[in-house]
A and B are shown apart, each in its own frame.
Chain A
């Protein structure tokens, strides 16, 4: 692709200048994303690596190492992303576009499931549905005389349900951000010309939010195929393996090459789907809805459907949020994991050490490192969220403004990969890259900076997708007029793009923040400071078998995430004053 061949000289110059930004973006992303990937690829081209390719693709082990896990992974990926679009789309529409009662509370509740670690949802499922296959400890339903068949207790069905319950809120967050920018003027214009509601929905709302739908579908797909906790907890008892459980297992038992080959294959498979979804967006007509005018959101009256739909939205939130949260909170209060609702004690939170409970371990708020860990966690979450959003915004802007070019395609594909690179490989690559002094840079080994760089790169997909889904809707005319009045790119970014895109950006920042605050593997591999982060403290407790303390910290992390998202909402209303 070289349009400059046919362009007039002055145009060529302009194009080169315009290309400078995407090129520098490619350079940054290449360094941050491509380098770790190349490292993995190279590791699989050594003799043991080549053996691993054969073992996985062409050996008697292939069905169990590759084909069956692949099939399970595809079912999960496609099923989860379809389910998330339906549930996330429905709830986003309900909260943003209608006059359903209790919209604010619904809006908060539907962002919660993503903040609850997926293992909590899997645990909640187990608490309710576990059957006799798991020996002596039966679940709630079986204890009450119901017979729970294996397919409902273990395997693909419960994993699908748990993952949809976890990731639909990711779809909700992204779609809601896009829906809120469907201007009232469009809807009112359609109503004035007599369009019916279904026509308004399919003719206006749906096309406008398509980029957001595609973003949400891609992120939930990638999340589902990379998720480890749910398939491991609920799939293994019936020997269901996915590519991610296989990948984790191979690295864990010291066959890293096989793990890397599986990671590359996982990236390739997901890449195909992401490429197709990208095509879907680039092929369609462009809709710009965020213009200098209007900006109010028009709400549909639901009439007699108000309460039934409220019940549906609220019921969903209860099942996906309240149940796992209750299980988590209860398991931080119950002395015996087997009896969640008896003998509650606050010992695991505030108890003094030295007694009989938990081998004399004091409650988490008496742990001297907790405050330091809390502070570290917040610092890490905020810094990483800010940096990846800045980077993500720049990338998303470059991608949308160069839509259809090869450069934009490469960038958008690259920006997606980090979600699928196993963090153990990611971290190893970063130690290799930045462990030794790199040019003028000093060695970043073990520093907070290295952790931030790696984490920002690792979370880039959330930032880029969130940015893209909003930026795609912002009309270029605003930027053009600013350019004509002489505003530079930074100024245009700050004064125009930023306020208009704030909702989507904050949505993305929250996603990154949440991911970061919960993440463990990247942190333990890259950071060697003595004062840990919260997830490391939780890991310490869990490693000692003190699950109650670990769960208490998970609840604490949840509270932090919730507070962050409330602050973000408040911030957004302050910036977008014109919406009031």
Chain B
């Protein structure tokens, strides 16, 4: 009884708040800053510890607004926001988060977060990066190989080669039942049955026969990959060492992160992306920026999101600098890709379809569990 009353009161209180939020959505950064100065602090949950550098740059650009950055993995951000909002606590303003399929289901659908697109960026982002979620940049899970052991380029030119006996026990990935991005990778592969079937034909010359309990060539690939003694590891450190170590004899290949190549020199690795792979070498997946529901500092929250997309210069300026990493890709068109990396349009990776992946992810997870 008391609860319904409270809910009704809250709903009533929300009406003007919503109107105000709409105003906020159309305000310029300068107008947001005026309100943000009154709000004083803004709390950001971030999947990346680079938030510390954003904090510094933000507070220099907007004195008087204190950015509180908290490093939290995506799974923990979701757990914490859900628990907090269920307890009626609204303490966080901005989420910088990956695991988009889970974000879609557990945060956006129940209204725990909302998508805010800064007005100045509306025509600088592709439609798929503005809705349902605002995408800040794209990271990769793509096939990586050892360029010292294979000076003539990638030993793999077709994903189906990974299921051949000669690659048995020599393909690695971080366990997809432990890390969402790898599950997203396999789900995205399953969502391209036609391309996978065509690639099969290109590799083996015959049409693929899909097991009766599976849907399409993508799922068949997942099964064959696991049956070919796919090696699972706990973290990407192990993976990079295994694939990239220089002077290694017969090193394996792995689905890893393209931007880890930047550590090659320092770590003594020879990691390189296998780009010329049929039908694709992996996925691009989004890092998302969103405003939390009933954010205590709604104006400052929007200001932070606006800020993190950087200025109009080709490298995005100091605000985007922490994220300008070779092998990661800005969604904002004015920001140029790193000259030493494969340009985004030439990278043969599928950009994940967040909604479709969200829908099929659990089924693929079940398939993988039976294969382990």
Contact = CB atoms under 8 A, between A and B. Distances in A.
A137 interface: yes
A281 interface: no
Interface in B234-275: 234-235, 237-238, 241-245, 248-249, 251-252, 260, 263, 266-268
Interface string A236-260: 1101010001101111111110000
Contacts, number: 170
A254 B146 contact: no
A443 B89 CA distance: 9
Contacts of A251: 75, 79
A337 B78 contact: no
Contact count band on B: 35 or more
B370 interface: yes
Given A61-B369, A335-B266, A543-B71, A249 B80 contact: no
Contacts of B234: 232-233, 236
Contacts of A31: none
A563 interface: no
A436 B88 contact: yes
A253 B369 CA distance: 12
B177 interface: yes
Interface string B67-82: 0101110011011101
A238 B366 CA distance: 19
Given A237-B231, A241-B372, A428-B82, A525 B245 contact: no
Interface in B335-372: 361-362, 365-366, 369-370, 372
Interface in A77-97: none
B178 A252 contact: yes
A532 B234 CA distance: 26
A148 to B, nearest CB: 15
Interface stretch (B47-55, B135-143, B287-295): B47-55
Nearest to B371: A64
B37 to A, nearest CB: 19
Contact of B50 (A133, A233, A544): A544
A428 B84 CA distance: 8
Contact of A61 (B71, B244, B252, B370): B370
Interface string A355-370: 0011000000000000
B48 A446 contact: no
B72 A524 contact: yes
A254 B76 contact: no
Interface residues of A, number: 59
A280 interface: no
A253 B89 contact: no
A248 B160 CA distance: 31
A450 to B, nearest CB: 11
A432 to B, nearest CB: 5
Contact of B76 (A236, A241, A525, A544): A525
A424 B252 CA distance: 35
Contact of A528 (B43, B105, B169): B43
A360 to B, nearest CB: 12
B372 A544 contact: no
Contacts of B70: 524, 528
Contacts of A55: 366
B147 interface: no
Given A337-B241, A338-B241, A435-B83, A245 B178 contact: yes
Interface in A519-572: 521, 524-525, 528, 530, 536, 539-541, 543-545, 547
Interface string A252-278: 111110000000000000000000000
Given A525-B79, A539-B71, A445 B175 contact: no
A265 B93 CA distance: 36
Contacts of A232: 178, 234
Interface in B83-108: 83-84, 86-89, 91, 99, 101-102, 105-106
B192 interface: no
A437 to B, nearest CB: 9
15 contacts: A55-B366, A64-B370, A134-B231, A135-B172, A236-B178, A237-B232, A239-B232, A253-B365, A336-B268, A339-B268, A357-B266, A424-B75, A445-B84, A544-B49, A545-B260
Given A233-B234, A236-B232, A253-B179, 15 more contacts: A136-B252, A236-B178, A252-B75, A252-B179, A254-B78, A254-B102, A254-B105, A336-B267, A357-B266, A431-B84, A443-B89, A524-B70, A525-B76, A525-B79, A540-B71
Closest 10 CB pairs between A and B? Answer: A136-B248, A435-B87, A135-B242, A254-B102, A136-B245, A136-B251, A428-B83, A540-B49, A431-B83, A232-B234
